[in-house]
């Protein structure tokens, strides 16, 4: 399904002609919310009587590192994701993920639009506490490797501010939000 959506976006976008939105030696910062593959919740800030869930909150950085190669340019950077979840009088956990990633940005000459795909790898740090009322009855922590295969699109409202959406496999199912270019 993800491949069909990506191919459709690429086909539709190929009919437009204007300047590329991703360039060598420019910096891009993303701020957004995502869908956690473990809880399948999107940008959740849920606060119920017995349960709360926040995130994942996502911050990413990317820099263009090449001039045009083939039909696009290459960018590298990183991503940090943070999620929290808890149950009243029972447990809480926190997941922090740090990934390095690289992406190929297709040059379809679409004004204000950037279509890209890439891969990433890194680590997730998970901490959990179980408790009975106010007494902690157990703690655990773990570190695991993460991988991320993704495709995304950015649209800029002006030269420096836009929105983005990304789908992926691994670290996060999807994320979206604001992007700043400088």
**Per-residue pLDDT tens over the stretch 29-71:** 999 998 766 554 444 555 556 777 887 899 999 999 999 999 9
Task: Judge residue 55's burial from the number of C-beta atoms within 10 Å of its C-beta, 0-12 exposed, 13-18 middle, 19 or more buried.
Answer: buried
Encoded tokens for 49: 């009587």
Confidence of residue 12 (pLDDT cuts 50, 70, 90): very low
Q: Domain segments of the chain: what residues? A: 2-181
Whether the per-residue pLDDT at 99 is higher than 70: the answer is yes
Residue 172 pLDDT: 81
How far is Cα of residue 43 from the mean position of the Cα atoms in its chain?
A: 11
Distance CA 155, CA 176 (A): 11
Average pLDDT of span 95-100: 94
Bridge partners, residue 164, by sequence: 154, 177
Give just the sign of the alpha carbon dihedral 158, 11, 19, 177: positive
pTM value? 0.78
Task: Judge residue 159's burial from the number of C-beta atoms within 10 Å of its C-beta, 0-12 exposed, 13-18 middle, 19 or more buried.
Answer: exposed
Q: Which fold has domain 2-181?
A: Porin (2.40.160)
Residue 6 pLDDT: 47
Distance CA 72, CA 106 (A): 4
């Amino acid at each position: 399904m993800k491949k069909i959506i990506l191919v459709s976006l690429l086909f539709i976008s190929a009919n437009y002609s204007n300047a590329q939105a991703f360039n060598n030696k420019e910096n891009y910062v993303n701020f957004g919310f995502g869908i956690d593959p473990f809880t399948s919740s999107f940008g959740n800030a849920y606060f119920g009587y017995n349960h709360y869930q926040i995130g994942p909150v996502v911050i990413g950085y990317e820099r263009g590192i090449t001039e045009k190669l083939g039909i696009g340019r290459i960018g590298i950077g990183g991503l940090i994701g943070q999620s929290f979840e808890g149950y009243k009088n029972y447990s809480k956990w926190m997941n922090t993920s740090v990934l390095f990633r690289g992406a190929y940005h297709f040059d379809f000459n679409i004004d204000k639009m950037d279509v890209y795909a890439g891969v990433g790898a890194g680590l997730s740090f998970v901490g959990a506490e179980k408790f009975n009322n106010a007494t902690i009855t157990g703690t655990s922590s773990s570190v695991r490797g993460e991988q991320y295969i993704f495709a995304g699109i950015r649209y800029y409202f002006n030269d420096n501010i836009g929105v983005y959406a990304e789908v992926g496999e691994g670290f996060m199912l999807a994320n979206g939000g604001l992007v700043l270019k400088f």
